[in-house]
Amino acid sequence: MEPDFDRIIDKSGTYALKEYKYRKSECLPMWVADMDFACPPEVLEAVRQRAEHPILGYTVAKELDEIIAERMAEFYGWQIDPDWIVYTAGVVSGLNCSCRAAENRSRAAVNTPIYPPFLSVPPFQGMNLEKSRLTLNASRWEIDFDNLRQTLSGGDSLFIFCNPHNPSGRCFKRSELERIAQICLETGALLCSDEIHCDLLLGESGHTPIASIGREIEQNSITLMSPSKTFNIAGMMTGFAVIPNRKIRQRFAYAKENLSSHPNVFGIKAAKAAYQHGESWRKALLEYLTQNRNLVTERLSKYGIVPAEPEATYLYWLDCTKTGLENPHAHFERYGVGLSDGKDFDAPGWVRLNFASPRSILNLALERIEKALNNQSL
Ligand SMILES: Cc1ncc(COP(=O)(O)O)c(C=O)c1O
């Protein structure tokens, strides 16, 4: 059966985080990064089947090893040894473990604007945070390579990279990844690449894991991935790291043991079903999301708040700094749309729209956003 992404699903009683924030208002929740779509039926069935077994104790995720290794080879041409995989309770916990694994490094650098935990995790793990801003060139977000090199120089940095990038939706090209890898190797920075959005590619975009581009960078990297965003199973708390270098992997695994960051018993089954049986669902999803993205572009471009279209993710990064609005986030909420506030991403005056909703809901949200931009009476 074809997935029905137009279906509006009532989440009441599920304590969904996205809705919970606006439970006392009429605001449409278009903020936190999960989708309003039912996950693939095979995933739901796998979870149901697991629940039939009466024991739900600690579980190892070994049954995913070969599936992940095969996926890396098939999707990205990256040959990995299953022994390189370390499972985590999601990717943010992998970010924490990466900081811990970056022993003797006192600094962590990130490209801002950025998904908020990139700003908070390094200081939480006792590291100094350094920022290298992305620049906007001809409607494309780009790395300022000179600035990045300067930021990482000194040999005691961890570079936490995000590709595809949240919130800009940028999907970096191989030539850009090669330059980043080169900079990390030259400066002695350890690379942690969060690639959680790697399978959410819009239009013609393609993904290359940065660690896959050469042996040297592979040995100097931690790659964080998860099926959670793509298959809408973020509540399953299941992610993994691919760490080719044995010493880095041991340090990461040690951190993970101490942070008790193990994947969830249902998450393992959900991930397995998603990777093994979710491909036609994913393809249909990407078509739907690409159309949603195009709709947002079409409706909002005329307001001058669309500096660049996302190439991946279901997140649209909107520049409201020239609208004259003092607090765009609060303004849109007054008009009934709950977006993510750019100030949490180190970009006050910007907002992030999650467009992974049934088209009728997205249309309603866009109507409200347009009303808000026109300052029409409420
Ligand atoms: C770049 C990035 N990393 C990590 C996460 C969260 O990962 P998890 O829920 O697996 O901790 C998100 C969620 O939006 C994200 O966008």
Provide the pLDDT confidence category of residue 289 given band limits of 50, 70 and 90: very high
What crossing angle do the helices spanning 265-277 and 41-51 adopt, rounded to 10°? 150
Question: Smallest Cα–Cα separation from 154: which of 214, 118, 116, 106?
Answer: 106
Instruction: Identify the CATH number of the domain defined by range 48-277.
Output: 3.40.640.10
Is the backbone of residue 189 left (phi > 0), alpha (psi -120 to 50) or beta? beta
Mean pLDDT of 269-289: 98
Q: Does domain 17-41+279-373 have CATH number 1.20.1260.10?
A: no
348-353: long-range contacts, CB 8 A cutoff, minimum separation 24: 349/319, 349/320, 349/321, 349/325, 350/113, 350/167, 350/317, 350/318, 350/319, 350/320, 350/321, 351/318, 351/320, 352/31, 352/167, 352/315, 352/316, 352/317, 352/318, 353/30, 353/296, 353/315, 353/316, 353/318
Q: Would you say the CB of residue 274 lies under 6 angstroms from ligand 1?
A: no
355 neighbors 324 (Cβ within 8 angstroms): no
Mean pLDDT of 16-28: 95
- Detail the DSSP E strand segments found in the chain: 28-29, 85-88, 107-112, 128-133, 135-137, 140-142, 157-162, 190-194, 221-225, 239-242, 315-319, 337-338, 340-341, 350-354
Mean pLDDT of 172-193: 98
- State pLDDT tens for residues 343-376: 999 999 999 999 999 999 999 999 999 999 998 7
- Ligand 1 atom at minimal distance to the Cα of residue 94: 11
Question: Smallest Cα–Cα separation from 195: which of 227, 218, 168, 152?
Answer: 227
Q: Which residues contact 280 (CB under 8 A, 6 or more apart)?
A: none
Mean pLDDT of 46-51: 98
Q: Report the C-alpha gap between 321 and 187 in whole angstroms.
A: 35
Ligand 1 test: best mutation among 92, 112, 352, most atoms within 8 Å of CB?
A: 92
According to the model, what pLDDT value does residue 90 have?
A: 95
Ligand 1 centroid to Cα of residue 207, in Å, is 17
Q: Would you say the CB of residue 92 lies under 6 angstroms from ligand 1?
A: yes
pLDDT > 90? residue 26: yes
182 neighbors 288 (Cβ within 8 angstroms): no
According to the model, what pLDDT value does residue 269 have?
A: 98
Q: Would you say the CB of residue 115 lies under 6 angstroms from ligand 1?
A: yes
Mean pLDDT of 98-118: 96
According to the model, what pLDDT value does residue 283 have?
A: 97
According to the model, what pLDDT value does residue 372 have?
A: 97
Q: Report the C-alpha gap between 261 and 243 in whole angstroms.
A: 16
Ligand 1 centroid to Cα of residue 226, in Å, is 9
Question: Smallest Cα–Cα separation from 233: which of 81, 72, 35, 366?
Answer: 35
Given the structure tokens 């080879």, which residue do they identify? Answer: 73
According to the model, what pLDDT value does residue 38 have?
A: 98
pLDDT > 90? residue 4: yes
Mean pLDDT of 187-203: 97
Mean pLDDT of 196-211: 96
Ligand 1 test: best mutation among 91, 119, 207, most atoms within 8 Å of CB?
A: 91
According to the model, what pLDDT value does residue 224 have?
A: 98
- State pLDDT tens for residues 53-85: 999 999 999 999 999 999 999 999 999 999 999
What percentage of the chain exceeds 70 in pLDDT?
A: 100
**C-beta atoms surrounding 112 within 10 Å:** 16
According to the model, what pLDDT value does residue 1 have?
A: 78
Ligand 1 test: best mutation among 161, 163, 166, 313, most atoms within 8 Å of CB?
A: 166
Domain positions in the chain are 17-41+279-373, 48-277
Mean pLDDT of 124-135: 98
